[in-house]
Amino acid sequence: MNVIRRRGWEIPERLATPAHLVFNRRAFLAGGASAMALLPRAAAAQRVEDLAKLADPTADLYPAKRNEKYVLDRPITDEKINDHYNNFYEFNSSKEVSEQAQLLPIRPWTVKIDGLVEKPFEIGIDDLIRKMTLEERTCRHRCVEGWSMAIAWTGFPLARLVDFAKPLGSAKFVRMETFTNPKVAPGERMTWFPWPYVEGLTMAEATNDLAFMATGAYGHAMSKQHGAPLRLAVPWKYGFKSIKSIVRFSFVEQRPKGYWEALQSSEYGFWANVNPAVPHPRWSQATEEVIGTGERRPTLIFNGYGDYVAGLYKGLENERLWA
């Protein structure tokens, strides 16, 4: 006898609920919790992630048109891999933060603009995003730890936000700050870390076309573990410069001290431009592991973006540009 045995997750097509019914927000709130109780933990966490992307108030803006100017020399990292291999110290210091990060509330989310601007103001994230024109960009991402990925971000140039903020001529740097919410972010309860996470760019870097504010990835609103609802992507710098879940942009005269610089200034500095010829004090930067492929590739100077950004560093040869 030939019995076809179906495993639990192989439900027949005709029994599967059409996506537009499952992903209705109200239905999710009413029935989602009990439905999820039936799923194993990892599957439930995955479902929370999938539903969150679709329930985002800006979900209608995705996918955005791709900006073809930025082409990759390698395939985009599989989304499942990218969503489950992250650095987000507010949650924990392992690469497995995706489940914990789902607890971060991302609405309401207010972005504060202050410092050397015509007039400081606050704006809700949805208003801000809808004032910008979203585009998709493929980018390489090189972590200082020696691994890399390639991502299709959606967002807008940071230069657009700078315009919108109306900085004064005296502003020399943009300082960015991540949320503070130790109730949901256990890492922030570890008071020996210099919270909140801070990063900064010069005005010239911030207004360079490559400096990107990402609000989405892979054609939908961004996963929380990637730094929703607003994160920086500066692909010519080591990954730690690309600050996540930003709540504040301050225009300042003094060079801001970043989180990693505050933690260990002998190893991490302000500029942090990718350079394979300058090793980290504890390891080589010559090559990188391309996550998800098993491949190790030579690292490129400015992570391959020298044509766009090398000119920003003329006359700064005495600075520690590559830390």
Report which secondary-structure segment, H or E, holds 309. Answer: helix 306-309
Q: Interface with ligand MTE includes 243 (CB under 6 A)?
A: yes
- The mark string for 220-239 relative to Mo ion (x by CB under 5 A, - otherwise) is -------------------x
- Which residues from 247-266 bind ligand MTE, rule CB under 6 A? none
Token pair belonging to 257: 């001290």
Of 89 and 251, nearer to ligand MTE (C-beta) is 89
CB of 19 to Mo ion, least distance (A): 34
Q: Residue 86: which of ligand MTE, Mo ion, none does it interact with, CB under 5 to 8 A by kind?
A: ligand MTE
Residues 6+ apart with CB under 8 A from 215: 58, 129, 134, 154, 155, 156, 221, 222, 228, 229, 230
Distance CA 261, CA 278 (A): 17
Q: Interface with ligand MTE includes 87 (CB under 6 A)?
A: yes
Query: Pick from 153, 179, 240, 305: which binds Mo ion (CB under 5 A)?
Result: 240
- Which residues from 15-34 bind Mo ion, rule CB under 5 A? none
| Total residues in contact with ligand MTE, by rule CB under 6 A | 17
Q: Residue 89: which of Mo ion, ligand MTE, none does it interact with, CB under 5 to 8 A by kind?
A: ligand MTE
Q: Do 81 and 98 meet the contact criterion of CB atoms below 8 Å apart?
A: no
Which contacts (CB < 8 Å, 24+ apart) does range 290-293 have?
290/74, 290/77, 290/147, 290/148, 290/149, 291/77, 291/81, 291/82, 291/85, 291/147, 291/148, 291/149, 292/77, 292/78, 292/81, 292/82, 292/85, 292/149
- The mark string for 48-77 relative to ligand MTE (x by CB under 6 A, - otherwise) is ------------------------------
The binding site for ligand MTE (CB under 6 A) comprises: 86-90, 141, 143, 178, 197, 226-227, 239-240, 242-245
